[in-house]
Amino acid sequence: MDSNPFIFSNAPKYRWRRHLAFWGVWGGAQALLYSFAPPLMKLSFFQRLEMSSVDALVYLVTHMFLAYSLMYFVIPKFVVKGKYVQTALLVILLFLATGALSAVEGNYILDQIRHRILGDIVKLVPPAYSSHGNFYSSLLAGLRGGITIAGLAAAIKLMKYYYVKQARNLELQKENIASQLQLLKAQVHPHFLFNTLNNVYAHAQVGSSSAPVLIAGLSDLLRYMLYECDIPLVPLEKELKMVQDYVLLERVRYGNKLDVNVQVTGDTEDAYIAPLLLLPFIENCFKHGASQMLEQPWISLQILVEGDWIKMKLLNGKASGISAPAGGIGIANVVKRLEYMYPGRHQLVINNEEEVFIVNLKVQLERKPEAGKMVNTNIIAYQLAE
């Protein structure tokens, strides 16, 4: 609506311009139409136009009375509130009042105004064009023009009202979704933090030399989360670096007990993704897979950036009998975020097999290439297993 202030703005300067334009067009159209009345055809075009312009100006008063009564009284007070019986009665009364006002103008006022403004031109008009006549006929004639402009004005008012209402509803929906996304993203932080702090606490209790490394790694991750994730999109390279740091943090925790393989392949430059979108799946593997396996735990993470899509295949071994790790606040939040931020632009398939848990995720990325910058293909592959 901000892009069309002339139509939608309620600022006085725009409202005056909008109304003047509307009535100027309507008055001009009426003047041109009246100028072709048969009794006036003996006059020159400019004489006819002068005569019809005066008529249009006089009758414009009744048209404005009916139009503004409908737009600023009947529609907001009764139509939009669903009071249709009262609306019908008021519209009938306003039509009759408009017709009567128009008849009074035509029979008792119009001729005097014509003589004052046009002077001798009025004498050239045939008697058939005289405004004096049957009051009932004048009432019907006034109704005809009044109903036309009133219907047009009311239609514009209603269309504008419902357009503004729909735009406002869409704005509220966007604000609601944005607030929900902020809440979901905020819930990722404590969820991750509590799990990692438990790991640090376990190492500190036994005096492990890994505790300082865990604390330093946690500090780097929290710095990224607190200072770089408060925007809708982050560079994919930074997000993948955060994932790698998290995996390294878990690797220190498990030591030689964990076999982790991570491969990231493809063009990661100038690609953007929603922050903390991949982490909950990876964290879930460690929480429900590696931490509960009795023998050698393993996790395999493959990420491929292909065109505008990122494809992640995540597998982890699990002890038989372990329930599906798809529940919990972390995965539930990321599923909701995918629905909000990537509707129709993501695919998520989770398979819970007997001894392996598989996550296949495909998300369409945002691209922001810099002008003149060559696209390079980065291939990052590393093995975190002894």
The C-alpha angle 231, 234, 240, rounded to 5 degrees, equals: 140
Structure confidence at residue 127 (pLDDT)? 59
pLDDT of residue 378: 38
pTM for this predicted structure: 0.49
DSSP conformation letters of 285-351: HHHHTGGG-SS--EEEEEEEEETTEEEEEEEEE--TTPPPTT-HHHHHHHHHHHHHH-TTSEEEEEE
pLDDT at 89: 93
- Return the pLDDT at 177: 59
Going by their DSSP bridges, the two strands 356-364 and 259-266 should be labelled as unpaired
Q: What is the DSSP secondary structure assignment for residue 277, as one 8-state letter?
A: S
pLDDT at 186: 54
pLDDT value, residue 301: 92
What is the enclosing helix (H) or strand (E) of 14? helix 12-34
pLDDT of residue 289: 60
Per-residue pLDDT at 152: 86
Instruction: Give me the residue spans of the domains in the chain.
Output: 5-171, 209-384
- Structurally, at CATH architecture level, domain 209-384 sits in 2-Layer Sandwich (3.30)
| Below-70 pLDDT ranges, the chain | 1-3, 122-138, 140-142, 172-193, 195, 288-295, 319-330, 369-386
Enclosing H/E stretch for 88 = helix 84-104
Q: What is each CA distance from 184 to 188, 275, 332, 361, 381, in whole angstroms?
A: 7, 11, 9, 19, 31
Please give the structure tokens belonging to residue 137. 């006929």
